[in-house]
Amino acid sequence: MKITKYNNLYQITWLPYIFPINCYIWECRDELLIIDMGVKNFVPEIEKISKRLRKPISKLLLTHAHADHVNGIPLFHKTFPHVKIGISQRDVQLLKGDFTLLPSEPQSKIKGGFSKEKIHIDFTFKDQDIINKFEVIDSPGHTPGSVSFLNKSSKVLIVGDAFQVRGGVAVSGTLKILFPFPSLATWSSKVALVSAKKLQKLNPTILAVGHGNVLINPVKHMKKAIKVSERKEN
């Protein structure tokens, strides 16, 4: 397990050199916000950080419903039963096993792995909701209900699998041979490209992804990845 700190943002990475899966902690003045919970191994690390900082955990937010972003929730919920867990209004349906596409959505098969365990969810959110000073940004493509979280004051942007860094910076749906899994699990690369452009225009100072290192001053890397995706889609 690897833990890296960027001001208020803690990145916890499981299997950093083999198959990196990230969980994030945002340190608020009086509490901690958790984003994504892909493996149960994150839970004891979060406990340690919470005790060391002497700050309780307020909420757990999920970028999307894939197993490698939710599989740690059963242990997390058992350990922190009073912490509320939220996911987008769209992706909560995937956690319920409902893969029906809306008429307005591209009729491509929803891909990727989903947890075989029951995933506890307390609330849902939608685009532009504000949660602990993070704005919810709809960024579908990897899944129909994928979202990102933007802290407006610091311009920290946590995007789940809308971008990847492991194997090379790429928009979701762009295959990277050294780490092909986000691409193979992407529902719609065309929708993902639209979302990537939307996220790039937010001009983040930090880009935090589901797989790979945090990027500081990431805009030029995002633009380059978008151009590659555009060539693929045209």
> What distance in Å separates the CA atoms of residue 53 and residue 61, rounded to the nearest whole number?
20
For 121-132, what is each residue's pLDDT tens digit? 999 999 999 999
The predicted pLDDT at position 234 comes to: 79
Q: 199 burial class (0-12, 13-18, 19+ CB within 10 angstroms)?
A: buried
Supply the pTM of this predicted model.
Answer: 0.97
Q: 88 pLDDT band (50/70/90 cuts)?
A: very high
HSE-CB at 116 with a 13 A cutoff on CA atoms is: 0
Q: 205 pLDDT band (50/70/90 cuts)?
A: very high
> What distance in Å separates the CA atoms of residue 163 and residue 196, rounded to the nearest whole number?
7
Per the prediction, the chain carries an average pLDDT of: 97
**What average pLDDT score do residues 82-111 get?**
97
**What average pLDDT score do residues 151-176 get?**
97
Q: Is 140 helix (H, G, I), strand (E, B) or coil?
A: coil
DSSP tally for the chain: helices H, then strands E: 7, 15
For 24-71, what is each residue's pLDDT tens digit? 999 999 999 999 999 999 999 999 999 999 999 999 999 999 999 999
- Give the angle 67-145-26 at the CA atoms, nearest 5°: 70
Architecture of domain 2-233: 4-Layer Sandwich (3.60)
> What distance in Å separates the CA atoms of residue 176 and residue 164, rounded to the nearest whole number?
9
For 14-36, what is each residue's pLDDT tens digit? 999 999 999 999 999 999 999 99
Which residue, chain included where needed, has tokens 């892909």? 38
Share of the chain above pLDDT 90, in %: 98
Q: Domain locations in the chain? A: 2-233
